[in-house]
Amino acid sequence: MKRVIALLITVLLLAGMFTGCARSSADQETGGTADYTIGIVTPTLSTSEDEFRAAQNMAEKYPGVVKHITLPENFSTEIETGLSQISSLADDPKMKAIIVVSGQAGLLPALQKVEEVRPDIITMTAPIWDDPALMSQYVDVNLDTDWVRRGETIATKAHEMGAQTIIHYSFPTHLAKEVISQRKDAMQRTCEELGMKWVEVVTPDPQTGDGTAPMLQFLREDLPRQIDKYGADTNVFGTNCPMYDVIIDEAFKQKFMVAEQCCPTPLQAYPTVLGLEISEEDAWNFDKVNNMISEKAAAAGMTGRLGGWPMPATVFLPQYAVELAMKMIEDPGFDYKDVKQLNQFALDVFGYEVSFDNFKAKADGPAFENYFVMIMDTILY
């Protein structure tokens, strides 16, 4: 009998050990204990594929922890429904963080309501575009891309690549936008400080004329003229995404440089222009896509003359927000207001160099201590 009892105790102890190991593995995958929920709100798949799939991937990575919901397809006409969807996440007693991802304004009231009824919930935007002062007041953490600082970093990278000239293509309705104008000014100032020639070219305006066709035809004809005049050690930057099908294509023909696109991602123009055969499975394997672009660049003698960010900001920011929320929940001592900590956390989790900074609504205005804008280090193909 003693032997039987001893055997039963041993079996029970072993079962407990294995159960404990299994639980530890699950907890490790969810950043620690899995007794909480994180809500992430994005547009629908058809409205914004990057943000939708980024959130979907995190829900699949952390099942039972990350809850992904979408805003109405026609948000502009169903604002109240969208706000209700966001605020209703706070009804879940296990909800510890709510992240709203949508490049549009009008969503802040829902987060204000969450703050009122559940101040214990961590609220994040990644991004939304409401008033920055109010966002900083009512939202715990705000994340976005540093569109203006990119003017400085793109010019600096082009100089490091060996560019002697920067050509900036844009059109009146774009140049009227403050962010684009500020980025252009920063790019021009940095270009001149580094001793490069600055060339500004205005294209036909796709927003007031016959669409993108005249603009793209102009680029097709003007780029060879400009490169013939200034030489191949010229970096070309355009402010409009459709421009890049022509810019990247002409870069392979004329051998000029493209440090970054306006929306720096391996998925902008490169796959189409280079005819990359990317399976649906590999479409989100950015390391593989980047390697495919590098192979094409090497074959064309263009190594080191083309660049971009290793992954889209519209994918990085939602995923980073989820990981950051988990970090803040699991490690209350983590100082999320320290940009050095945010930078290191991005490197630890994603393996990419990222530079966060505090956002200023105006260049000479105060910085918001919980509103962070970031740039990723350019990779060269």
pLDDT in tens, 248-290: 999 999 999 999 999 999 999 999 999 999 998 888 899 999 9
**pLDDT over threshold 90, residue 334:** yes
Among 347, 161, 186, 143, CA closest to 260: 161
Predicted pLDDT of residue 34? 63
Predicted pLDDT of residue 1? 46
Predicted pLDDT of residue 14? 42
Q: Helix, strand, coil shares of the chain as percentages rounded to 5?
A: 50, 20, 35
Three-state SS string over 145-180 comes to ECCCHHHHHHHHHHHHHCCCEEEEEECHHHHCCHHH
Find the length of the chain.
Answer: 381
Predicted pLDDT of residue 23? 34
Predicted pLDDT of residue 29? 55
The string of pLDDT tens digits covering residues 20-30 is 443 333 345 54
Among 218, 242, 215, 238, CA closest to 169: 238
CB 196 within 8 A of CB 159: yes
Across the range 218-231, mean pLDDT stands at 98
Is residue 340 very low, low, confident or very high in pLDDT (cuts 50, 70, 90)?
A: very high
Across the range 45-61, mean pLDDT stands at 96
**pLDDT over threshold 50, residue 16:** no
**pLDDT over threshold 60, residue 361:** yes
**pLDDT over threshold 80, residue 139:** yes
The string of pLDDT tens digits covering residues 66-102 is 999 999 998 888 999 999 999 999 999 999 999 999 9
The string of pLDDT tens digits covering residues 287-312 is 999 999 999 999 999 999 999 999 99
CB 40 within 8 A of CB 318: yes
Three-state DSSP state, 170: strand
Predicted pLDDT of residue 104? 87
Going by DSSP bridges, is the β-strand pair 367-376/95-100 parallel, antiparallel, or unpaired? unpaired
Identity of the amino acid at 161? M
Q: How far apart are CA 69 and CA 127, in angstroms?
A: 16
Burial 74-86 (b: 16+ CB within 10 A, else e): ebeeebeebbebb
The string of pLDDT tens digits covering residues 113-126 is 999 999 999 999 99
CB 232 within 8 A of CB 255: yes
Domains of the chain: 37-139+314-376 (3.40.50.11400), 149-310 (3.40.50.11390)
CB 285 within 8 A of CB 263: no
Across the range 184-188, mean pLDDT stands at 98
**pLDDT over threshold 90, residue 8:** no
Higher pLDDT among residues 3 and 188, named by residue? 188
Predicted pLDDT of residue 19? 40
CB 118 within 8 A of CB 61: no
Q: How far apart are CA 350 and CA 87, in angstroms?
A: 30
Secondary structure element (H or E) that encloses residue 376, with its range:
strand 367-376
CB 33 within 8 A of CB 62: no
